Amino acid sequence: MPENPRKAAALLLVGALILMVAFATSYVGAFHDPTPRKMPVAVVGTAEQAAQLNALDGQPLEVRAVGDRAAALQQLDDREVYGVYDPSANTLYTASASNRAAATALELTINRVQASQDRPAAQVQDVKPLSASDPNGTSLFYVVIAWVFGGYFAAVLLGMVAGNRSSSRNLAGLRVGALAAFAVLGSLLTLLVVRLGFDVLTGSFFAVWAAGALIVFATAVASSGLQALAGMAGTGLVILLFVILGNPAAGGAYARPLLPGFWGTVGGLLPPGAGVDLVRSILYFDGARILGPIAVLVGWALLGAALALWRGGRAVPREQAEIEAAAAAAAA
């Protein structure tokens, strides 16, 4: 076997080992102990009542006092808090649409406090329920992950056919345009399948379609740009950021306040988490807090496009090109 293929195979195997260990570390690290960590909650009452809940061991809640119930529920609608507790009525208002696991964790936390004070369990009202066709909220998460995967895979396939770096900036621009067309069509087809086949993601069709196209495009162009920048290493970086870190931190299975600090911090800054936030806001919260995830996705798209255009037309040594081609084939 020639030297270069041996070197390429060795590098790929080492990379696969690193990614495998990183995958296990990230998913187990994120999901092994889903407990509330400073979960934003509103209490209809006084600052003293809020302070008592904030003083719980481990600081599971970050409680703010709100003067009346309507104002507190408005904060729930605006996605500023995950729940509202009204001590006078002993009622907890939750929003399973934000995340079912978070609503359940909040209920358990409040009722542990009640039990410790020999008080009855709080009555629970889910004021923002999930749809009957998606009672656990998993469909939303997996559709977003499909869009992220589709964008990444499209970039890898183009890299296999045309190389990780375009031979000119004009061709780099055409690649970005092709990925944009793929994003629009891919979002449309996916949305049609899940709506017609399973009756999920049934909010505003055009808004969800546009959100899906942005998710696919941002992921695809960011992947293409990172591959243009670093070749094989760029492919590994894409897998690390968007799959190994991005998926568990996305807020799909568990809301970010239930995740350890690192995952809770980075989740909203990566395409999977921003995508989940964006689609959830459209479907259940009338677009509340929508600008943040849009800005994140647009930022990734602009970064990817800039890298792809900047690297377009730059010569690649033959040995490096062979290694990158092998890496792209393995990734696919």
- For residues 23 and 43, state if they share a domain: no
Residue of 185, 274, 176, 281 lying closest to 225 (CA atoms) = 176
- For residues 115 and 141, state if they share a domain: no
- For residues 242 and 142, state if they share a domain: yes
90: CB partners within 8 A, 6+ apart? 114, 119, 120, 122, 123
Domain that holds residue 66: 39-126
Q: Yes or no: say if 305 and 280 are a contact pair by the CB < 8 Å rule.
A: no
Lowest mean pLDDT among 2-16, 70-84, 113-127, 243-257: 2-16
CA dist 167 and 7 (Å) reads: 25
The crossing angle, in degrees rounded to 10, of helices 138-162 and 169-198 is: 150
pLDDT tens digits along 51-83: 999 999 999 999 999 999 999 999 999 999 999
- For residues 171 and 259, state if they share a domain: yes
pLDDT at 9: 80
pLDDT tens digits along 27-44: 999 999 999 999 999 999
Place of tokens 């081609």: 325
CA dist 304 and 222 (Å) reads: 4
**Torsional sign, CA 99, 103, 104, 106:** positive
pLDDT at 171: 87
- For residues 77 and 190, state if they share a domain: no
Residue of 189, 223, 201 lying closest to 279 (CA atoms) = 201
